[in-house]
Structure 1
Amino acid sequence: MANRLADATSPYLLQHRDNPVDWWQWSAEAFEEARRRDVPVIISVGYAACHWCHVMAHESFEDAAIAKQMNEGFVSIKVDREERPDVDAVYMTATQAMTGQGGWPMTVFATPDGDPFFCGTYFPRERFGKLLESVGTAWREQRDDVLKQGAAVVEAVGGAQMIGGPTAPISAELLAAAAAGLEKEQDRERGGFGGAPKFPPHMNLLFLLRHHERTGSAEALEIVRHACEQMARGGIYDQLAGGFARYAVDETWTVPHFEKMLYDNALLLRVYTQLWRLTGDLFARRIADETAAFLLRDLGTASGGLASALDADTEGSEGLTYAWTPAELIGALGADDGTWAADLFRVTQKGTFEHGSSVLVLARDIDEADPAIVDRWRDVRSRLLAARARRPQPARDDKVVASWNGLAVTALAEHGALTGSAESHDAAIALAEVLADRHLVGGRLRRVSRDGVAGEPAGVLEDYGCVAEGFLAVFQVTAAPRWLSLARELLDVALARFASGDGGFYDTADDAEKLLTRPADPTDNATPSGLSALCAALVSFAALSGETAYREAADKALATAGPLIGGHPRFAGYAAAVAEAALTGPYEIAIVTAGPVDEDPLVEAAWRQAPGGTVIVAGEPDREGVALLADRPLIGGASAAYVCRGFVCDRPVTTAADLTTRLSQAETLVAQ
């Protein structure tokens, strides 16, 4: 027997390659080995940036005595939840059914057929050792009871299937109910929703921004503004380098769980960019710019694509890289600037974190302060960041996940188009190229790649939806038909391989590996659900291509999420945001240009003024492969913008001022 993780592509699995545990990767061979030996299976699921995964690994999986128990009595399988979200989803459903809660590390004891019969999350070493002994004894002496328990859990997992439930067509009333539900649940003092631990509600904020644009709701905009300000002034935001941590362990956004995830930052980049577009708030613009810079600087990989995460730990300790004491600030900056920085960043002798240290927060507004104060703040940040760079740094999970990179493509394309950032614009295109050239293999998506090589796990529905949406975003900023064609290819696969037959979608393809059940979860949690992401791409593609079959598929799928949107909006933020775009139209803006696109004021005005979810394409008239530009002439030899809805267009305008006026009256658009 031997540990079999040395040739894994997952950084999480590679973290365990030197364990004395005889780990297997997820495979049919592992279960066959359990059948041959007539022993149960341990399925251990986690991810590279997970703090408690590291703790359990150090306490138990690196321990010779625990490893001996595992090796003698079980076949042990290690799974990266980010690489195999399908496996994670099935066994997380089982864990929640059995324990009422879930999380990572997830520890599942299963039969050699994969049927779970005992589930949990983190177990301390002593308890885990006793659990191994108890499970082993039960398997040998109470086999029938174990198998009955497994059958009951499998039945519960199947009963949790979301396919075939009630539907509710998207309507203004449904979205009003969702907005009212979020308003009721908001934390009016600290921003966001719920208590500790507190997660950035990026998808709910995107929905509320679009709801504000469609309805004029001042309350919806204020919920977003307040949450964005509180998060970005808190410790959950890296006040020196930019980028958001996964969540705050408290209600005040002060102390983060220090891992930084690609998907959070991509979605938050969209939120802050759109908030700046609507309000002109310099604070929102700075956070958007810094978040974009964080993505490209700290998550960019040498082989292209963005890495998944920065670890929660540094050398086994949380916060080692990020926390400060007053003495450390003075040591890095000198007495005068160190004392000033301690006051600005609320670093006290008592501390807000561990061992008298503090996580940096922004105590007061700085973006519109006196220029001399702003200059001092920038200088202090730069010097502290340089000092921090000399500390041990967190590890990085450098696998490239298709769906998360798709989210980043969309966010960077929007940021580039709205702010004029050439770096974001170019990065969006480059990331899309990586996804198209590396992850799209034989017409099907691969979920992950690492060091330029695509891994074996097949793409799941969220990969198809997020990557297609990213390709459509790049199409809009380039008018290059290739991206529209590639998006169509992905959407056609999704419609053919993932559809459930009742308007909804499964998360895995019909030819994917068969698990206990075929997962189909429409809830938006840390990332958009596969269904929500696919609907976003379907709605945009229909508007860009004029092909109504894709819109019909989106409407049917959104209806399956309708009860969730109306009744539990916190878990349907992305679906609600897509529904807002669908209810608005979305608007289609075609701009035929007489000169360079990036210098045309009509293009800038369209991006700045159009409601969220609008599709925008600019280029020369009748550009081949671009339906929105067909039969749209220049006006008097000058550029012209056509504002359309359902491919019914108002009279063209030729000035940015007229386009701005037209978009401000968009709700009254009628066929002329």
Structure 2
Amino acid sequence: MPNHLADETSPYLRQHADNPVEWYPWGEEALQRARDEDKPILLSIGYAACHWCHVMAHESFEDPATAEIMNRHFINIKVDREERPDLDSIYMSAVTAMTGQGGWPMTVALTPDGRPFFGGTYYPPTPRHGLPAFQQLLQGLAQAWQTQREEIEHSAGEIAGHLRQASLVSALGRGGALNDDLFDQALNGLLRTFDTKLGGFGRAPKFPPSMTLEFLLRMVLRRGDGMARRMAEHTLTMMARGGLYDHLGGGFARYSTDDRWLAPHFEKMLYDNALLARVYLHAWQVTAEPLYRTVVEETLDFALREMRHEAGGFYSSYDADSEGEEGKFYVWSADEVRAALANAGLAADADLFMAYYDVSERGNWEGHNILNTPRPAAEVAAELGLDPAALETRLAAARRALYDARAGRVWPGLDDKVLTAWNGLMLAALAEAGAALGRADYTAAAVANAEFINASLRRADGRLLRSWKAGVGARFNGYLEDYAFLADGLLALYQTTFDPRWFAWARELADQMLAHFGDATNGGFYDTADDHEALLHRPKDVQDNATPSGNAMAAAVLLRLSLYTGEGHYWDTAEAMVSALYEPMARYPGAFAHWLGAAAFILGEPREVAIAGDPAAADSRALLDLIHGRYRPDLVVAVGEGESAAVVPLLAGRERLDGRAAAYVCRRFVCLRPVSEQQALAEQLND
């Protein structure tokens, strides 16, 4: 029977459109029906790249008998957590409070007014591993609704009250004055969990710690910290050599299921690849390690080739599964490698490819081979009696042949919705890489992405929308992270192109955050706007997870905007937010790493560089080449004159020197004498 999901923007929801379950999207139609019929709501939350979401869908939601029970006793609502992070946050908090753990697929039973009274995650079709069968669970919940209504109402009220109270106790509470002792405590905490042999922090599963690595690189620049450098470089290198990285197509999987980064959970997320491309770029700028630049370019090239809509937006993810098997698209047998290379006329290179990429007859994962590079190329070259450069030339040709062969396989499912926040992350990575690497194609892609978001995900009143899909359009109110991540990307794009429209838009987004998301009582920002639909409570998340928290990114954006504009309230708002999290940053650095970056910015005596001149002219470019030649996280730069000076306050009153572009190096708007030569600018920047 058809349900109500066919016209949704979410591919995850559309995947369930032919289920016999009468699914509704979250909305007034479903909620009103629950109230009218006095039925409980069965809320299922997941996302397209979630392996166990697909398993439960196949086992239960495609089963007519299970669907009959669901349809008879419940109003069934399906939610894509990536489109509705507010609902995911609220009900994940409830499930965690009720069970002590959470995950996806999330299964929650609600009263008709949206209060949770039962929560869990995956349930099998038959009793297994201490879990009841899903049908048993449904029958039990339906019976309880009929016979224990008073107890359910009482429990739901207590849970809702607990969640509301927890939401009022903001983590932006008692803090401390920022100082370098914060970084000592954070670094010591990271060192305690650092895997000295294999890189990363903690044990399996290991997630790529992008924000922690960014903080460590800041400590290398700020303090010359050798241990911070060791932790960052070893982790970056081990991830790039492992199976977490796609050695044929570029890009990273979501996480490693083992300690040594070999066996990933194979889905690829846009946000991971944006964040990792950016941190590898910064690592290359700090260390000049060629591997890191290779990873940056291969990762961004992957995103441009395989995750980009022709209009300029970037898709959300690729599934881990293809043909019903996790990782099938990515793994190889020794015979498959030999055959693919033979078909490409490269049969003679099969042995050297297998030697370098750890391919064997028995396999390195469940009888198959995940490509990885456990030994340095120089060691393999010496073993084979080859010059390292000759080895790399032959490997490159083999990789191209195997990529082409892999492209002929059945591809994993693509979640082709475009999310504003995640596109903001990719926008920043492309813009920074375009400037630092001299890649005009990256800069052009960044501009196209910003123009796409402007045309497709920005309302007439300037407010943002969350999600877009070709053929359907855009929908859902923008969340705090949409505004903050996009503003961050626009500032990066401005510092690459110096087109003042990108700066103006970033500032507009910051002002909208302050106007519509601010928490006047506790400080910081709510995740939802003041005109968002009324939910169980108004969520406010400050912890960094797979992406920076919206609050942490908002603070970072406001700090930079303050230097561009001289507006003290931007700085004061952000500094109060960061200071309030002193204790969590010190005690849990991996969960507050983006905040630590903001703290480092505040304490790093950041500088502004205003260049009076034409951004495209040779004299301006010479000064910019010096600036872009190093990683400078504690510096903002503006270039322009005339109209640009009217938009970007940092440029106001700046004049050329004897007709030549002039750089003004300032600290909180107190400036040194203007200079026009690279060497003089280098001296003022202490290069």
Same-fold status (TM-score > 0.5): yes
Indicate the residue corresponding to 1:547 in structure 2: 567
Q: Is the 8 A contact 2:312 2:445 kept in 1?
A: no
State whether structure 2 residue 485 is matched by structure 1 residue 466: yes
Amino acid at match of 2:148: Q
Q: Is the 8 A contact 2:9 2:473 kept in 1?
A: no
CA distance in 1, matches of 2:458, 2:183: 35
Q: CA deviation at 1:536?
A: 1.4
In structure 2, list runs of 5 or more residues that go unmatched: 127-132, 382-386
Q: Is the 8 A contact 2:4 2:25 kept in 1?
A: yes
String of CA shifts for 1:174-224, please: whole Å, max 9, x gaps: 233222221222111111111111100001111111122112212112211
Q: CA deviation at 1:635?
A: 2.9
**For 2:647, what is the secondary structure of its paired residue?**
coil
Amino acid at match of 2:624: V
Q: Is the 8 A contact 2:8 2:472 kept in 1?
A: no
In structure 1, list runs of 5 or more residues that go unmatched: 666-672
Q: CA deviation at 1:598?
A: 6.8
Amino acid at match of 2:231: I
Q: Is the 8 A contact 1:505 1:557 kept in 2?
A: no
Indicate the residue corresponding to 1:150 in structure 2: 156
Equivalent residue pairs, number? 664
String of CA shifts for 1:405-433, please: whole Å, max 9, x gaps: 01111111111110101011111111111
String of CA shifts for 1:72-99, please: whole Å, max 9, x gaps: 1111100000000000000000011111
String of CA shifts for 1:362-417, please: whole Å, max 9, x gaps: 23334997221110110110011011011111111111111110111111111111
Indicate the residue corresponding to 2:17 in structure 1: 17
State whether structure 2 residue 379 is matched by structure 1 residue 361: no
**For 1:122, what is the secondary structure of its paired residue?**
coil
CA distance in 2, matches of 1:78, 1:513: 18
Amino acid at match of 2:401: R
Query: After superposition, where does 1:554-565 map in structure 2 within 5 Å?
Result: 554-565=574-585
Match of 1:533 among 534, 546, 553: 553
Indicate the residue corresponding to 1:670 in structure 2: none
CA distance in 1, matches of 2:453, 2:634: 23
State whether structure 2 residue 673 is matched by structure 1 residue 647: no
CA distance in 2, matches of 1:325, 1:562: 51
Q: Is the 8 A contact 2:274 2:425 kept in 1?
A: yes
Indicate the residue corresponding to 2:681 in structure 1: 659
Match of 1:128 among 114, 131, 134: 134
Indicate the residue corresponding to 1:309 in structure 2: 317
Indicate the residue corresponding to 2:513 in structure 1: 494
How large is the RMSD of aligned CA atoms in angstroms?
1.9
Q: Is the 8 A contact 1:414 1:473 kept in 2?
A: yes
TM-score relative to the length of structure 1: 0.95
**For 1:17, what is the secondary structure of its paired residue?**
coil
Amino acid at match of 1:587: R
**For 1:108, what is the secondary structure of its paired residue?**
strand
Please identify, of 500-509 and 92-101, the stretch whose mean Cα deviation from structure 2 is larger: 500-509
Q: CA deviation at 1:264?
A: 0.6
Q: CA deviation at 1:595?
A: 7.5
CA distance in 1, matches of 2:567, 2:388: 53
Q: CA deviation at 1:620?
A: 4.6
Query: After superposition, where does 1:79-90 map in structure 2 within 5 Å?
Result: 79-90=79-90
Are residues 642 and 51 of structure 1, via their aligned partners in 2, closer, same or farther at CA, if it must alter by over 3 Å?
same
Match of 1:435 among 435, 438, 453: 453
Q: CA deviation at 1:454?
A: 4.2
Amino acid at match of 1:113: D
CA distance in 2, matches of 1:413, 1:620: 22
Q: Is the 8 A contact 1:504 1:557 kept in 2?
A: yes
Q: CA deviation at 1:239?
A: 0.5
Please identify, of 79-88 and 208-217, the stretch whose mean Cα deviation from structure 2 is larger: 208-217
Match of 1:616 among 608, 615, 637: 637
Query: After superposition, where does 1:484-633 map in structure 2 within 5 Å?
Result: 484-501=503-520, 502-593=522-613, 596-597=616-617, 600-609=621-630, 611-620=632-641, 623-633=645-655
Indicate the residue corresponding to 1:668 in structure 2: none
Q: Is the 8 A contact 1:479 1:626 kept in 2?
A: no
Q: Is the 8 A contact 1:589 1:642 kept in 2?
A: yes
CA distance in 1, matches of 2:144, 2:174: 41
CA distance in 1, matches of 2:142, 2:118: 12
Amino acid at match of 1:397: D
**For 1:137, what is the secondary structure of its paired residue?**
helix
**For 1:447, what is the secondary structure of its paired residue?**
strand
Q: CA deviation at 1:157?
A: 1.9
Q: CA deviation at 1:565?
A: 1.1
Match of 1:391 among 397, 409, 416: 409
Q: Is the 8 A contact 2:432 2:493 kept in 1?
A: no
CA distance in 2, matches of 1:78, 1:595: 49
**For 1:609, what is the secondary structure of its paired residue?**
coil
Q: CA deviation at 1:592?
A: 2.9
Are residues 562 and 439 of structure 1, via their aligned partners in 2, closer, same or farther at CA, if it must alter by over 3 Å?
farther
String of CA shifts for 1:569-588, please: whole Å, max 9, x gaps: 11111111122122223221
Indicate the residue corresponding to 1:254 in structure 2: 262
**For 2:503, what is the secondary structure of its paired residue?**
helix
CA distance in 2, matches of 1:370, 1:406: 39
Please identify, of 500-509 and 406-415, the stretch whose mean Cα deviation from structure 2 is larger: 500-509
Indicate the residue corresponding to 2:130 in structure 1: none
Q: Is the 8 A contact 1:273 1:415 kept in 2?
A: yes
CA distance in 2, matches of 1:88, 1:594: 47
CA distance in 2, matches of 1:62, 1:111: 25
**For 2:406, what is the secondary structure of its paired residue?**
helix
**For 1:263, what is the secondary structure of its paired residue?**
helix
Deviation >6 Å, runs of 4+:
none
CA distance in 2, matches of 1:47, 1:214: 39
Indicate the residue corresponding to 1:139 in structure 2: 145
Are residues 387 and 2 of structure 1, via their aligned partners in 2, closer, same or farther at CA, if it must alter by over 3 Å?
closer
Q: Is the 8 A contact 1:308 1:401 kept in 2?
A: yes
CA distance in 1, matches of 2:403, 2:437: 25
Query: After superposition, where does 1:80-229 map in structure 2 within 5 Å?
Result: 80-126=80-126, 127-161=133-167, 162-163=169-170, 165-229=173-237
Amino acid at match of 2:63: D
String of CA shifts for 1:504-537, please: whole Å, max 9, x gaps: 2111112111111111110000111110111111
Amino acid at match of 1:589: V
CA distance in 1, matches of 2:9, 2:182: 44
Indicate the residue corresponding to 1:479 in structure 2: 498
String of CA shifts for 1:456-513, please: whole Å, max 9, x gaps: 3111111111111111112222222212221122111111111112222111112111
TM-score relative to the length of structure 2: 0.93
Amino acid at match of 2:363: G
Please identify, of 556-565 and 545-554, the stretch whose mean Cα deviation from structure 2 is larger: 556-565
CA distance in 1, matches of 2:286, 2:686: 12
CA distance in 1, matches of 2:158, 2:248: 51
**For 1:456, what is the secondary structure of its paired residue?**
strand
**For 1:238, what is the secondary structure of its paired residue?**
coil
Amino acid at match of 1:143: R
Indicate the residue corresponding to 1:327 in structure 2: 335
State whether structure 2 residue 59 is matched by structure 1 residue 59: yes
Indicate the residue corresponding to 1:416 in structure 2: 434
Indicate the residue corresponding to 1:448 in structure 2: 467
Match of 1:291 among 299, 314, 338: 299
CA distance in 1, matches of 2:405, 2:75: 46
CA distance in 1, matches of 2:311, 2:124: 38
Percent identity reads: 45
**For 1:616, what is the secondary structure of its paired residue?**
strand
Amino acid at match of 1:177: Q
